[in-house]
Amino acid sequence: MRYSAIFILGLMIAQTACTQTSHNSNSEKMDTSELKVKKTEEEWKQALTPAQFNILRMKGTERAFTGKYYNFFGKGEYHCAACGSKLFNSDTKFESGCGWPSFYEQDKDANVKLHKDSSFGMVRTEVTCGTCGSHLGHVFDDGPAPTGKRYCINSESIKFVEKTDSTIKK
Protein backbone atom coordinates (compact mmCIF):
# COMPACT_ATOMS: atom_id res chain seq x y z
CA MET A 1 0.00 0.00 0.00
CA ARG A 2 2.79 2.41 0.93
CA TYR A 3 4.66 1.76 -2.31
CA SER A 4 1.47 2.30 -4.33
CA ALA A 5 1.00 5.73 -2.78
CA ILE A 6 4.63 6.64 -3.48
CA PHE A 7 4.29 5.43 -7.08
CA ILE A 8 1.10 7.44 -7.63
CA LEU A 9 2.70 10.54 -6.11
CA GLY A 10 5.70 10.09 -8.41
CA LEU A 11 3.44 9.86 -11.46
CA MET A 12 1.61 13.02 -10.43
CA ILE A 13 4.89 14.91 -10.04
CA ALA A 14 6.15 13.63 -13.41
CA GLN A 15 2.89 14.66 -15.06
CA THR A 16 3.07 18.23 -13.77
CA ALA A 17 6.78 18.55 -14.58
CA CYS A 18 6.13 18.32 -18.32
CA THR A 19 2.45 19.20 -18.50
CA GLN A 20 1.02 22.24 -20.12
CA THR A 21 -2.65 22.02 -20.97
CA SER A 22 -3.37 24.98 -23.18
CA HIS A 23 -1.96 28.10 -24.74
CA ASN A 24 -1.11 30.57 -22.01
CA SER A 25 -0.07 34.17 -21.80
CA ASN A 26 2.81 33.57 -19.38
CA SER A 27 5.17 32.25 -22.07
CA GLU A 28 7.45 34.70 -23.79
CA LYS A 29 6.00 35.77 -27.10
CA MET A 30 7.79 34.06 -29.94
CA ASP A 31 9.29 36.13 -32.75
CA THR A 32 7.56 34.62 -35.77
CA SER A 33 9.35 36.80 -38.33
CA GLU A 34 12.15 34.22 -38.74
CA LEU A 35 9.89 31.20 -39.22
CA LYS A 36 10.28 29.44 -42.57
CA VAL A 37 6.85 27.80 -42.46
CA LYS A 38 3.96 30.16 -41.75
CA LYS A 39 0.33 29.06 -41.72
CA THR A 40 -2.80 30.41 -40.15
CA GLU A 41 -4.17 28.48 -37.19
CA GLU A 42 -7.04 27.37 -39.44
CA GLU A 43 -4.53 25.96 -41.96
CA TRP A 44 -2.73 24.14 -39.12
CA LYS A 45 -6.06 22.78 -37.89
CA GLN A 46 -6.70 21.30 -41.35
CA ALA A 47 -3.19 19.81 -41.64
CA LEU A 48 -2.90 18.23 -38.17
CA THR A 49 -4.88 15.71 -36.17
CA PRO A 50 -6.86 17.19 -33.25
CA ALA A 51 -4.29 15.81 -30.75
CA GLN A 52 -1.38 17.24 -32.76
CA PHE A 53 -3.10 20.61 -33.09
CA ASN A 54 -3.69 20.74 -29.33
CA ILE A 55 -0.03 20.01 -28.57
CA LEU A 56 1.80 21.67 -31.45
CA ARG A 57 -0.29 24.82 -31.80
CA MET A 58 -2.15 25.22 -28.48
CA LYS A 59 0.83 24.15 -26.32
CA GLY A 60 -0.98 21.19 -24.82
CA THR A 61 0.55 17.89 -23.75
CA GLU A 62 -0.19 14.21 -23.87
CA ARG A 63 -0.60 12.21 -20.68
CA ALA A 64 2.56 10.61 -19.32
CA PHE A 65 3.32 7.06 -20.50
CA THR A 66 0.74 7.20 -23.33
CA GLY A 67 2.71 8.50 -26.32
CA LYS A 68 3.89 6.13 -29.03
CA TYR A 69 7.56 7.13 -28.68
CA TYR A 70 8.04 7.31 -24.90
CA ASN A 71 9.25 3.70 -24.74
CA PHE A 72 10.41 3.34 -28.36
CA PHE A 73 14.10 3.01 -29.23
CA GLY A 74 14.34 2.47 -32.99
CA LYS A 75 17.37 3.83 -34.88
CA GLY A 76 16.73 6.94 -36.91
CA GLU A 77 15.71 10.58 -36.63
CA TYR A 78 12.82 12.45 -35.08
CA HIS A 79 11.26 15.22 -37.14
CA CYS A 80 8.65 17.87 -36.38
CA ALA A 81 5.19 16.38 -36.96
CA ALA A 82 3.95 19.72 -38.28
CA CYS A 83 6.61 20.71 -40.82
CA GLY A 84 9.06 17.81 -41.08
CA SER A 85 12.19 19.61 -39.82
CA LYS A 86 14.84 17.39 -38.25
CA LEU A 87 14.91 17.73 -34.45
CA PHE A 88 16.57 14.82 -32.65
CA ASN A 89 18.66 11.75 -33.41
CA SER A 90 17.79 8.39 -31.83
CA ASP A 91 21.36 8.10 -30.53
CA THR A 92 20.56 10.83 -27.99
CA LYS A 93 17.27 9.32 -26.79
CA PHE A 94 17.22 7.84 -23.28
CA GLU A 95 14.77 6.42 -20.74
CA SER A 96 14.22 9.20 -18.23
CA GLY A 97 11.28 7.66 -16.38
CA CYS A 98 9.16 10.79 -16.90
CA GLY A 99 6.73 9.15 -19.37
CA TRP A 100 7.63 11.20 -22.44
CA PRO A 101 10.33 10.70 -25.09
CA SER A 102 13.52 12.22 -23.71
CA PHE A 103 16.68 13.30 -25.50
CA TYR A 104 19.90 14.70 -24.03
CA GLU A 105 20.61 16.95 -27.02
CA GLN A 106 19.07 18.16 -30.23
CA ASP A 107 20.40 17.03 -33.60
CA LYS A 108 23.37 19.07 -34.84
CA ASP A 109 21.33 20.10 -37.90
CA ALA A 110 18.15 20.78 -35.93
CA ASN A 111 16.30 24.05 -35.88
CA VAL A 112 15.11 24.00 -32.26
CA LYS A 113 14.32 27.17 -30.30
CA LEU A 114 14.06 27.64 -26.54
CA HIS A 115 11.74 30.09 -24.77
CA LYS A 116 11.06 31.05 -21.16
CA ASP A 117 7.76 29.62 -19.89
CA SER A 118 6.44 30.80 -16.53
CA SER A 119 3.02 29.15 -16.69
CA PHE A 120 1.48 27.20 -13.78
CA GLY A 121 3.63 29.01 -11.21
CA MET A 122 6.83 27.39 -12.53
CA VAL A 123 9.70 28.67 -14.59
CA ARG A 124 10.57 26.24 -17.36
CA THR A 125 12.15 26.33 -20.79
CA GLU A 126 9.77 25.59 -23.65
CA VAL A 127 11.12 23.79 -26.74
CA THR A 128 9.69 24.81 -30.12
CA CYS A 129 10.43 23.98 -33.72
CA GLY A 130 12.46 26.83 -35.18
CA THR A 131 11.04 26.21 -38.64
CA CYS A 132 7.30 26.42 -37.90
CA GLY A 133 7.11 27.59 -34.26
CA SER A 134 5.24 24.50 -33.04
CA HIS A 135 5.38 23.54 -29.34
CA LEU A 136 7.36 20.34 -28.77
CA GLY A 137 7.77 20.13 -24.99
CA HIS A 138 10.22 21.43 -22.38
CA VAL A 139 13.92 21.04 -21.57
CA PHE A 140 15.24 20.48 -18.04
CA ASP A 141 18.71 20.45 -16.48
CA ASP A 142 18.46 16.95 -15.00
CA GLY A 143 19.55 14.79 -17.93
CA PRO A 144 22.54 12.51 -18.39
CA ALA A 145 26.08 13.31 -19.52
CA PRO A 146 27.42 14.70 -21.70
CA THR A 147 24.94 17.63 -21.73
CA GLY A 148 22.99 17.27 -18.47
CA LYS A 149 19.85 18.18 -20.45
CA ARG A 150 16.53 16.34 -20.70
CA TYR A 151 14.44 17.41 -23.66
CA CYS A 152 11.00 16.14 -22.59
CA ILE A 153 9.09 15.95 -25.89
CA ASN A 154 5.50 15.00 -26.72
CA SER A 155 5.18 11.97 -29.03
CA GLU A 156 2.40 13.75 -30.96
CA SER A 157 4.81 16.58 -31.82
CA ILE A 158 7.39 14.35 -33.51
CA LYS A 159 7.55 11.81 -36.31
CA PHE A 160 10.12 9.02 -36.37
CA VAL A 161 12.05 8.42 -39.59
CA GLU A 162 13.80 5.04 -39.54
CA LYS A 163 17.47 4.90 -40.39
CA THR A 164 18.12 2.44 -43.22
CA ASP A 165 21.36 1.39 -44.89
CA SER A 166 20.72 3.95 -47.65
CA THR A 167 20.20 6.82 -45.15
CA ILE A 168 23.24 6.16 -42.96
CA LYS A 169 25.88 8.84 -43.50
CA LYS A 170 29.27 7.44 -44.39
152 is a catalytic site residue = yes
* 70: in domain: yes
Residues contacting 64, CB < 8 A, separation 6+: 11, 14, 15, 18, 70, 98, 99, 100
Burial tier of 30 (Cβ tally within 10 Å: 0-12, 13-18, 19+): middle
Residue 169 belongs to some domain of the structure: no
Q: Which CATH number fits the domain that encloses residue 11?
A: 2.170.150.20
Which strands, in side-by-side order, build the sheet including 158-162?
86-89, 76-80, 158-162
Residue 36: domain span? 2-162
Instruction: Tell me the torsion sign for CA atoms 104, 107, 108, 111.
Output: negative
pLDDT at 120: 83
pLDDT of residue 11: 45
Which candidate in 18, 98, 132, 152 is catalytic? 152
Is 131 among the domain residues?
yes
Reported as a single tens digit per residue, the pLDDT across 112-131 is 999 999 888 889 999 999 99
167 domain-assigned:
no
pLDDT at residue number 33: 61
Residue 170 domain flag: no
- Low-confidence stretches of the chain (pLDDT < 50) are 5-17, 19-28, 170
Dihedral angle sign, alpha carbons of residues 160, 163, 167, 170: positive
